Amino acid sequence: MKTAEIAQRYLDYFKKNDHTIVPSASLVSDDPSILFTIAGMVPFIPYLTGVVPAPFLRAADVQKCIRTNDIEEVGKTARHGTFFQMLGNWSFGDYFKEDAIRMAWGLLTTSEADGGLGFSPDDLWVTVFESDDEAAELWQKVAGLPAERIQRLGAEDNYWHTGQPGPAGPCSEIYFDRGPAYGQDGGPAVDDNRFLEIWNLVFMQDLIANVRSKVDFDIVGELPNKNIDTGMGLERVAFIKQNVENMYEIDQVRPVLDKAVELSGRAYGENAEDDVRFRVIADHVRSAMMLLSDGVTPSNEGRGYILRRLMRRTIRSMRLLGVDGPTFLELFTASRDAMKDSYPILLTDWARIERYALGEEETFLRTLVAGSAILDEAIDVAKKAGTTTLAGPEAFLLHDTYGFPIDLTLEIAEEAGVSVDRAAFDELMLAQRTRAKADAKSRKRQIADLTVYSEFRSLGETTFTGYTDLETSSRVLGILVDGLPVTVARAGEIAEVILAETALYAESGGQVADKGTIVGDGFELDVIDVQKPVPGLISHTVEVLTGEVTIDAPATTVVDAANRRAAQQAHSATHLVHAALRDTLGKTATQSGSLNRAGYMRFDFAWNQALSAETKTEIEEITNNAVQDNLEVTTRIMSLDDAKAAGAMALFGEKYGSTVRMVDIGGPWSRELCAGTHVSSSAEIGLVSVIGEASVGASNRRIEALVGQDAFRELAAERALVHELTASLKTPRDQLAARIAELSANLKSAEKKIAAFESRALADRVPNLVNSATTRDGWTIVAENLGTVGSADDVRALVTQVRERLSSQQAVVALAGVAGDRPVIVVATTQTARDAGAQAGALVKIASGVLGGGGGGKPDMAQGGGTDVHAIAAALEAVTRAVGAA
């Protein structure tokens, strides 16, 4: 049974049982405390916790998930994968334990011919929470399971909660017995390798508080509405139904593994280490592809870093299989073809996905070359220093800064006969993970506070009137101060105010929040920010300027009209620039982010090379031609499917409901899904002036522009500058560029002559410096203050020349000077001096400490500096003493 068929049977079954079929949410989670949708229940958290009223009583879905906390186990077990699909059915205050058990058992044990999954009841076991007598009895009553196949486990295994105060409850897990070949008998309590969990039924019935750990919390009451939250692992069911050994061999994953086998020329199933690598590749390629399809792009932080790590682990695994060249074209294509039936967007969006994948591969292959060079140098320094161990911080720097995998560092170092201080490396990694966990925990605490909005959200969605009105009368539904509900906010306080209606736009879709005020009888509030803390609810962060505002008080929102008008110009200009980019570069130049505020727009798009000056001019010209043509701007509310059918562009990573707002500028030329505010015709934009274009990642570019009056002011300022230059240089405007180029060439020529004079002047000082050398106990020491110097490079040049003159001696050269009001010191050693124990790096650290700074370098030459120019003499004396003690 194909994986897609299993998913369809699941949805069909629950549709027949009166469930609303809900499409998968994005892998990019709305919850700011987590990077990804890590479980099937994540998109339903607002409904399960009661923050947002559920739009249906029961639902079912196939949810895409990404989980990387067990990334090191991928490929080593049958069930660990970073990307997986969770089948779920949900009840929001409707059915509970008995019906949940009945429906789960029915789907599992109904024959394939009758639309079920065809599991034999004899192969299924269940676990229940240790004190949940009701669930244990229902499994016997509803499913006819014998008592010996119903096992009771503790809270660690069979009690679910989010880790925060709120809804929780016992759960019941269904296991499949894979048979004696996979382990010992005795049920999941004895062996969870043989007995594989396939479905978890959560009975959300309790309200908990004082959560101290997974198993330590207080149950403080029952929920008024009991919910059902279930999750069945699609990949786990698939590898059982397809009679293969693990999830990497199912129909949606195995083709990538087979392609890696083909590219490497190695066999699968012959070498345990190679098999793990093949499975890692199969898993990570699929995960990376699905993240790209949901708008995540490679970067060095957050979601982008996880994506980059998956891709780089894939490249590393292929390298360990003997393949050093590019492979992503073949691997990602194989994954696309295996997944396209379940996710057609992979076909329609393939050009963008492929561009990012190949761009990241090209970048990392270059990184491997650069990292190898840095590592080779570090190994060489370690050997020359007489050590056979590469320091942990150096290995960590390669890993953290350059993205150079630690296992590759270990491999190359071992080949060179050098070990790595793995304990120090692991300590640095642990410290980094601890910081990351603390940061995540901090964000998680913040999201827990969203429950304060549940009472307000239960009253309905906030009505936004700002598309047509700049003033709206309403009433105060709620007030929060420091995250807590209050009944009044007084002058001088910062508060959140929630209204039934508002004309103020909440930040979203790249458009910043409106500026404005909220006024009422006896109070005035300055609006600092407007946000949507939970779906459907708008919250205004305000400063109470005068009076005091109370619950139920009549209040009027007043939008700053000039600021709104300028923001609308910028947002509409962004749509025009997007259309112009697609006209110029092609349909793969899709939007990956934007920012619109009064007078300014920023637009990020998928592209992996800089735009030429001609291309930027063409984009600017197309945009302003559209402004001049006074194109009509229209908006329509329609279903998401109808909008997509009409060709509307959607922003990757944005969340869209079943009903969307489509914005046309000039008909289909610019047609996008957008909830922002816009001008009514393109001429209202006024002017768009492109001020910059740059890279924001391996496959992302950013174009920036000023809009309206801000664009005019910028051009006026440039015109004034041109007038000033023509007057100053006494050159006509059309000859100005040539005149400046001539002056620049003359300046460079003069600088070269000056540099030559300075170089000769420096060289003239070498004999005197050599003659200044002192000898002590077989050491030759030059330690001189050069006074004011042009730069540290001048000092290095002198040190190098003096050392050459003394190369046959056991010599140390230490020269210092003042460059840019700061002291600089350079120390060099001859080979004979190094053999006798003198290390330039150690000596320069001593001197830099005296100067009030730091420094370092190699044993033969090192540089340092500090802040105290008056300590140069003492620093040189410290070097001399250290050499004498060597």
Determine the CATH number of domain 766-885: 3.10.310.40
User: Residue 303: its pLDDT value, please?
Assistant: 87
Task: For residue 711, give every residue at least 6 positions away whose Cβ sits within 8 Å of its Cβ, in sequence order, or none.
Answer: 599, 686, 687, 688, 689, 705
User: Residue 441: its pLDDT value, please?
Assistant: 47
Could you tell me which residue, 93 or 696, shows the higher pLDDT?
Answer: 93
User: Residue 433: its pLDDT value, please?
Assistant: 65
User: Residue 802: its pLDDT value, please?
Assistant: 93
Q: Which two tokens stand for residue 846?
A: 């001593």
* Distance, CA of 870 to CA of 847 (rounded, Å): 13
* Distance, CA of 302 to CA of 431 (rounded, Å): 18
Number of H helices, E strands in the chain: 25, 35
Determine the CATH number of domain 3-247: 3.30.930.10
CA dihedral (674, 676, 680, 683) in degrees, to 10, reads: -90
Strands 822-829 and 811-819: antiparallel
Residue 78 has, within 13 A of its CA and on its CB side, a CA count of 19
User: Residue 442: its pLDDT value, please?
Assistant: 46
* Minimum mean pLDDT range among 161-170, 637-646, 800-809: 161-170
Give the model's confidence band at 781: pLDDT under 50 very low, under 70 low, under 90 confident, else very high. Answer: very high
Per residue in 433-489, pLDDT (tens digit) is 676 555 544 444 333 456 678 778 878 889 999 999 999 999 999 999 988 889 999
Give whole-number Cα distances, 277 to 314, 321, 575, in Å.
8, 8, 44
Per residue, the 3-state secondary structure of 162-211, as one string, reads: CCCCEEEEEEEEEEEECCHHHCCCCCCCCCCCCEEEEEEEEEEEEEEECC
Q: What is the mean pLDDT of the chain?
A: 89
Per residue in 623-646, pLDDT (tens digit) is 999 999 999 999 999 988 898 888
Per residue in 98-114, pLDDT (tens digit) is 999 999 999 999 999 99
* Distance, CA of 404 to CA of 396 (rounded, Å): 9
* 729 membership: H or E segment, kind and range: helix 709-729
Residue 416 has pLDDT above 90, yes or no: no
* Number of CB atoms found within 10 A of residue 243's CB: 8
Q: Of all residues in the chain, what percent carry a pLDDT higher than 90?
A: 63
Residue 354 has pLDDT above 80, yes or no: yes
Per residue in 257-303, pLDDT (tens digit) is 999 999 999 999 999 999 999 999 999 999 999 999 988 888 877 88
The arithmetic mean of pLDDT across residues 335-363, rounded, is 91
Could you tell me which residue, 88 or 298, shows the higher pLDDT?
Answer: 88
Q: Which two tokens stand for residue 868?
A: 């105290």
Residue 155 has pLDDT above 80, yes or no: yes
Question: Residue 556's beta-bridge partner residues?
Answer: 473, 519
Give whole-number Cα distances, 460 to 450, 499, 585, in Å.
16, 11, 44
Per residue in 122-150, pLDDT (tens digit) is 999 999 999 999 999 999 999 999 999 99
Any binding-site annotation on 870?
Answer: no
The arithmetic mean of pLDDT across residues 652-660, rounded, is 67
Residue 415 has pLDDT above 80, yes or no: no
Task: Report yes or no on whether pTM surpasses 0.75.
Answer: no
At 344, the amino acid letter reads P
Burial class (CB in 10 A: 0-12, 13-18, 19+), 295: buried
Burial class (CB in 10 A: 0-12, 13-18, 19+), 583: middle
Q: Tokens 């949606």 label which residue?
A: 252
* Distance, CA of 840 to CA of 833 (rounded, Å): 10
Give the model's confidence band at 402: pLDDT under 50 very low, under 70 low, under 90 confident, else very high. Answer: low
Burial class (CB in 10 A: 0-12, 13-18, 19+), 130: middle
Burial class (CB in 10 A: 0-12, 13-18, 19+), 30: middle
Per residue in 735-771, pLDDT (tens digit) is 998 999 999 999 999 988 887 787 777 778 899 999 9
Could you tell me which residue, 846 or 655, shows the higher pLDDT?
Answer: 846
The arithmetic mean of pLDDT across residues 419-444, rounded, is 67
Q: Which two tokens stand for residue 330?
A: 């073949």
User: Residue 293: its pLDDT value, please?
Assistant: 92
* Domain locations along the chain: 3-247, 254-420, 451-559, 564-717, 766-885
Residue 253 has pLDDT above 90, yes or no: yes
User: Residue 14: its pLDDT value, please?
Assistant: 97
The C-alpha angle with vertex 341 and arms to 336 and 343, in degrees rounded to 5, equals: 70
Per residue, the 3-state secondary structure of 258-319, as one string, reads: HHHHHHHCCCCCCCHHHHHHHHHHHHHHHHHHHHHHCCCCCCCCHHHHHHHHHHHHHHHHHH
CATH class, 564-717 region: alpha beta
Among 847, 34, 876, CA closest to 440: 34
User: Residue 440: its pLDDT value, please?
Assistant: 46
Residue 526 has pLDDT above 90, yes or no: yes
* Distance, CA of 635 to CA of 880 (rounded, Å): 79
The arithmetic mean of pLDDT across residues 561-584, rounded, is 95
What is the topology classification, in CATH, of domain 451-559?
Answer: Elongation Factor Tu (Ef-tu); domain 3 (2.40.30)
The arithmetic mean of pLDDT across residues 41-57, rounded, is 85
Among 253, 277, 287, 303, CA closest to 357: 287
Identify the three-state secondary structure at position 374. helix
Any binding-site annotation on 674?
Answer: yes
Give whole-number Cα distances, 201 to 8, 104, 208, in Å.
20, 9, 19
Q: Tokens 């130049």 label which residue?
A: 589
User: Residue 2: its pLDDT value, please?
Assistant: 95
